[in-house]
Chain A
Amino acid sequence: MTELPTTTDTRRPAFGAGRVLIVVYGIFAVAATARATVQLIRDAAEAPLAYGLSAFSAVVYLVATVALAHNGRRLRVVGWVTVLFELVGVLVVGVLSLTHPELFPRDTVWSEFGSGYGYVPLVLPFLGVAWLWWSSPRRLSQANG
């Protein structure tokens, strides 16, 4: 058996302001999941596409929250995928809900760029991308010299 070299990582965890973003992501993920669940239980048949999309996006927000909070190598990739998915989703559905309102007879979390949710769905992915870029281990290690 060869002894593994022991090293001590004295760097601070790369969080700080990011924790606030993670908590806001978490609150929004829970709120979106709860609302989508209620909509699906009550009247799924009214607008299956709109409500199904809301439920799916809510799950993506939950995964994004876990990925951002964990901040591991693989979950950071998951974080990038989920946050970019949200960004694309809010932009595409936001435009479609204005140009083709008949596609979404009921509001989704992304309709009209998330106006039903105080535009939080529009702002969060941008903050998520900014955070993932800022907290990148490669960038941080280069910045620290």
Chain B
Amino acid sequence: MDLVVAGGYAVMVGCGALGLWAGIRALRDRAVILKQLIAGGVVEALLLVQAVAALVAVLSGHGLAEPEVFWGYLVVAVLMLPAGAVVAIAERTRWSSVVLLVLALALLVMQYRVLTLWWATA
């Protein structure tokens, strides 16, 4: 298992946990807190590690069937949690928790696509 796949699984676990946490806080009518932003920062770091690992692997010969789509997903994935952090700071109501939940679920689905695209070698 290479670093891209390991990172992908780690991101999926992290997003699942973050989404669950945000969902519970949304149900309890609470806004996103700093601890959640730090947890999001950890997931973001995992995403960056995965992106760098993918870049190194592609440069050293890992062929991709659909490189544009793969890199599109990776770049957008890196931008999503920072967007959630902006909302968390601006929106101090339960709705920031709902936004974080939506972003975590979207990242989870995107990561599944990233892994299938990674395995679809050219």
A residues near B, CB below 8 A?
13, 15-20, 23-24, 26-27, 30-31, 34, 37-38, 41-42
Question: Which residues in chain B, 74-120, are within 8 Å of chain A measured between CB atoms?
Answer: 76, 80, 83-84, 87, 90-91, 93, 95-96, 98-99, 102-103, 106
A13 to chain B, nearest CB (A): 8
**What are 23 inter-chain pairs, A to B, with CB distance below 8 A?**
A13-B90, A15-B90, A15-B95, A16-B95, A17-B98, A19-B87, A19-B95, A19-B96, A19-B99, A20-B95, A20-B102, A23-B84, A23-B87, A23-B102, A23-B103, A24-B102, A26-B83, A27-B80, A34-B76, A38-B68, A38-B69, A38-B72, A42-B68
Beta-carbon contact of B98 and A30 below 8 Å: no
B51 to chain A, nearest CB (A): 16
CB nearest neighbor in B for A30: B76
Q: How far is the CA of A16 from the CA of B98 in the complex (A)?
A: 10
Beta-carbon contact of A17 and B95 below 8 Å: yes
Beta-carbon contact of B106 and A27 below 8 Å: yes
The 9 closest A-B pairs by CB, nearest first: A34-B72, A23-B99, A20-B98, A19-B91, A38-B68, A16-B95, A19-B95, A17-B95, A20-B99
A51 to chain B, nearest CB (A): 14
B residues near A, CB below 8 A?
68-69, 72, 76, 80, 83-84, 87, 90-91, 93, 95-96, 98-99, 102-103, 106
CB nearest neighbor in B for A24: B102
Residues of B within 8 A of A23 (CB): 83-84, 87, 99, 102-103
CB nearest neighbor in A for B76: A30
Q: How far is the CA of A31 from the CA of B72 in the complex (A)?
A: 9
B39 to chain A, nearest CB (A): 18
Residues of B within 8 A of A42 (CB): 68
Output the residue of A18, A20, A31, A41 with the most chain B CB within 10 A.
A20
Beta-carbon contact of B91 and A15 below 8 Å: yes
Q: How far is the CA of A19 from the CA of B80 in the complex (A)?
A: 14
B1 to chain A, nearest CB (A): 27
Residues of A within 8 A of B99 (CB): 19-20, 23
- Inter-chain pairs besides A20-B95, A27-B102, 6 sampled, C-beta below 8 Å: A19-B87, A20-B98, A23-B87, A23-B103, A27-B103, A31-B76
Q: How far is the CA of A27 from the CA of B99 in the complex (A)?
A: 11
Residues of B within 8 A of A31 (CB): 76
Q: How far is the CA of A72 from the CA of B95 in the complex (A)?
A: 21
Residues of A within 8 A of B68 (CB): 37-38, 41-42
